[in-house]
Amino acid sequence: MPYRILTLDGGGSWVAMQALVLGKLYGMDTPGHKILRQVDKVAASSTGSWVLALLLCNYSPGQILKTFRDESVLKSFYPLLKDCEKSFLHIFLELFRLAPRYSGDRKRKALLNLLGADGDRFLKDFPAYVGNPSLSILFTLYDYHRNAILYCRSETGGLCARYSAAENEGENSELDFQNITLLDTVHGATQMPWDYFDKPALICFYGQDKQYPRYVWDSSVAGIHNPILVAVSEALASGVYPEDIVITSLGAGCFQGLNLQWNEDAPVEVVDYFSEVQMPGLFSDLGKIKNMMMGCPPEKDLYLALLLLNQNKVREACGLFRFNPVFQGVRDSHTVRPPKGWSEKKFKRLRRLRRDVRRGTEMELILEAVEDWMKPDSEIPNQVICRREDGRGVVGHLSFSSAISSWRKKMEVYG
């Protein structure tokens, strides 16, 4: 019997593209609960938690896409701080683009309105609610005070649940990581620090007779932007055979420059003018650290997951299917051009968009690029699992078309 895992990366508002991919895989009008009845484990990190939460609320991919296309919803996910909410230090840091922009409290209110009554359900109650009692649900967060990853899950028994309980022995020995509402989980999982939200998210776990509040951040600050490695490790620890695991891993787009050798006669900005070259320095270094946390999911997690699944045949993707567009220029003779159908100005505009997109026009540009990536003749590549030094893929699928074709064949085998 196959053990099917669905993982959802973070990536700000760009996770809207996951609705398009889910629509291609399962159907745009398929209810979220029906999709979740077709998987055994689902894991989300960062803003991928928004997509998972909507699936748990029975939104279809089409309804999720419509939600992200609503500019008022985008702005409610990222509500700008008002002047009265800013301190003098905040105003000073704004001069250096280091101050937070958004109100976490008002983001929580927006999530409450979006999730409705389902937001008050405990995670442990969702498997039965969606009609798949054996479904394992996993969210990753970062514990602000303990400086440790926090795993919020639906299991009430088994190895993974016992680990969560053991982690809390002592002061909070009766605390269960399953006794947390969907609203608190998603709020905490999407609270990105730095120049995003103004403070850690305050969430609450429920014991037998009391509540246990905790401050948390988005798990991206600890390098968990792609939850695939956690999901695979837990499946293996639960006794699932590697050859039975089939993973559908959805990204939120990434940006990569081409791996071109330095040419003294052609400066880098001319050879690949879609990749900005920055000299080392305090502010450029801080910017790179921030972008690293919110940018492309680390390929190492994909690669390590592959090794766990298929230790003897590392050149085969086995049951790992990655769906993630890579927005980069196309090598053409001695220069680099935008992908077919894209002007230089338009493609540069796409690459310069922040992860916290709030405008409907910007979201439409992202979705246009994703729809282009899905075309059979697209020049926008798919993210692969391993790369050689020349930048060409070794393991994985170089296009969306080949990835979904292989995924469908695999699903047909298991019926």
pLDDT in tens, 139-169: 999 999 899 999 999 987 666 655 554 454 4
**Class of residue 59 by CB neighbours under 10 A (exposed 0-12, middle 13-18, buried 19+):** buried
CA–CA separation, 29 vs 166, rounded Å?
A: 42
CA–CA separation, 134 vs 151, rounded Å?
A: 18
Q: Is 261 helix (H, G, I), strand (E, B) or coil?
A: coil
pLDDT in tens, 97-151: 778 999 999 999 999 999 999 999 999 999 999 999 999 999 999 999 899 999 9
Run of H or E residues at 92: helix 88-94
CA–CA separation, 155 vs 133, rounded Å?
A: 10
Bigger pLDDT: 167 or 216?
A: 216
Close Cβ partners of 234 (under 8 Å, ≥ 6 residues apart):
41, 136, 138, 159, 160
Q: With bands split at pLDDT 50, 70 and 90, how would you rate the model's confidence at 390?
A: low
Q: Examine the pLDDT at 262 and tell me if it is beyond 90.
A: no
pLDDT in tens, 307-356: 888 755 555 557 899 999 999 888 877 778 899 999 999 999 998 999 99
CA–CA separation, 119 vs 125, rounded Å?
A: 12
CA–CA separation, 77 vs 80, rounded Å?
A: 10
pLDDT at site 376: 96
Of 234, 241, 139, which is closest to residue 191 (Cα–Cα)?
139
From residue 343, alpha-carbon distances to 37, 268, 286, 349, 350 in Å are 42, 20, 31, 10, 11
Mean pLDDT score, 48-76: 98
